[in-house]
Amino acid sequence: MQELQMLAINLMRHQKFDAMAVGIIDFKLGEYKSFEIHSTNVFSHTPELYFDLASLTKPMSLAANYLLHSEWFTNEMILLLNHQGGLPAWGRLSGRLSKEHWRDQINSYPIVPSQTLYSDYSALRLMLEIEKRSGRGFKELCFEYLDGEIKFWKDLEDKSKCPVTGIRKSKPIQGIVHDDNAHIISEFCSHAGLFGTVNGICKTLLTLEKKKNLTDFMSNEFDKKSHERYLAGWDTVEDYSNTLAGDGAGLKTFGHLGFTGTSIWVDAEKKIGQIILTNATRDNWYDRKGLNELRKNLGKYIWHKRFF
């Protein structure tokens, strides 16, 4: 673990962001280890920064609900879960009208089988469909299993514990969701808006393993049939020779990336998981070269070492 910390510190010196947390999970043992770096200081025992999880919100909410309540999901809902429902890839809500009527807009799109098209609108539509099928609020459903160190951004009590992720209207974005649509909607939603510590994510994934055997469930999903990029709401590895999960990821590796510089990857066969949280969008969002090298190098080290 000390070697991994030193690797992370050395990699951080070449980045344009100033905060990172790393977690490693052993799903067989039900244990995790983690550390946090802020301005090259390591807090190995008590990570406490709340990172904007960005699109990690999708698997932590939608994929988790599919795992726990697959009986709710119709064929159309599974299309939405895997970004094959034909909804627009991206759109920007704007103004008061959108804040008040975004549900009408999202519900207006027909669900039509399509090629994979990654879509925040698809995630939002699926949330609305889950609420209809379950008869319950989506936030309530999610916080039945989310750890206490994962928060909806408007419920954060101490925003000073959140790394800055950018600038909005000439003010630092700190403790406020970076995603513009989630900011406009300003209520709990499925495509972005969760903040969490690395420990909170580790504990949540272990809860899903305990409740419904997450790694076995995903292994079986891989075995069912050939699949497109997304599987049961999780991203999968398309190019094993150049994956952001890092060299050494197994054939049944699933995960997700977040725009702010966050990632989760789990090897369902090895039953090992890795979490990397950063504030990579602090100064810019378009230069991903350094972040991607960091992800690959840390991932490769984690897959090839034993930590437990």
| Buried residues in 191-203 as b, exposed as e (16+ CB within 10 A) | bbbbbbbbbbbbb
Terminal C-alpha separation, the chain: 10
Grade residue 40 by pLDDT with cuts at 50, 70 and 90.
low
Distance of alpha carbon 49 from alpha carbon 237, whole angstroms: 28
pLDDT at 137 over 60: yes
Considering the domain 2-304 in this protein, what is its CATH number? 3.40.710.10
DSSP string, 110-178: -----S----HHHHHHHHHHHHHHHSS-HHHHHTTTS-TTEEEGGG-S-GGGS----EETTEE--SS-S
pLDDT value, residue 96: 58
Question: Are 284 and 271 in contact, with CB atoms under 8 Å apart?
Answer: no
Q: Which residues pair with 19 in a beta bridge?
A: 38
Cα(55)–Cα(256) distance, rounded to whole angstroms? 8
Question: pLDDT digit string (tens) for 151-207?
Answer: 999 999 999 999 999 999 999 999 999 999 999 999 999 999 999 999 999 999 999
**C-alpha distances out from residue 121 to 106, 112, 267, Å:** 7, 13, 28
67-81, 119-133, 214-228: least confident range: 214-228
Grouping H, G, I as helix, E, B as strand and the rest as coil, residue 24 is: strand
pLDDT given for residue 29 in this prediction = 98
Domain boundaries, the chain: 2-304
Structure tokens at 82: 């895997």
Per DSSP, helices labelled H in 187-288 are: 198-212, 214-224
d(CA 206, CA 208): 5
- pLDDT, residue 58, reads 98
Give the CA-trace dihedral at 286, 54, 214, 225, to 10 degrees. -50
Digit-coded pLDDT (tens) for 251-271: 999 999 999 999 999 999 999
* Torsion, CA 280, CA 284, CA 286, CA 287, rounded to 10: -70
For residue 22, the SS3 value is strand
Q: Which pLDDT belongs to residue 43? A: 67
What pLDDT score was predicted for residue 227? 81
Which residues are registered as beta bridge partners of 258?
262
User: Could you tell me the pTM of the whole model?
Assistant: 0.96
